[in-house]
Amino acid sequence: MATIAFGADHAGYELKQHLIARLEAAGHTIIDHGTNSTDSVDYPAFCAAAARSVRDGDAEFGIVLGGSGQGEQLAANKVRGARAALCNCLYTARMAREHNDANVLSIGARLVGIGLAEEIVDVFLSTPFEGGRHARRVAQLTELEEQF
Domain ranges of the chain: 3-147
Q: What is the pLDDT of residues 29-76, one digit of tens each?
A: 999 999 999 999 999 999 999 999 999 999 999 999 999 999 999 999
State the catalytic residue, choosing from 10, 72, 143, 146. Answer: 72
State the catalytic residue, choosing from 99, 118, 130, 134. Answer: 99
Q: Is 99 a catalytic residue?
A: yes
Q: Output the pTM of the full model.
A: 0.97
C-alpha span between 102 and 114 (Å, rounded): 22
May I ask the CATH class of domain 3-147? alpha beta
Q: What is the pLDDT of residues 113-132, one digit of tens each?
A: 999 999 999 999 999 999 99
Q: What does the pLDDT read at residue 134?
A: 97
Q: What does the pLDDT read at residue 61?
A: 98
Q: What does the pLDDT read at residue 13?
A: 98
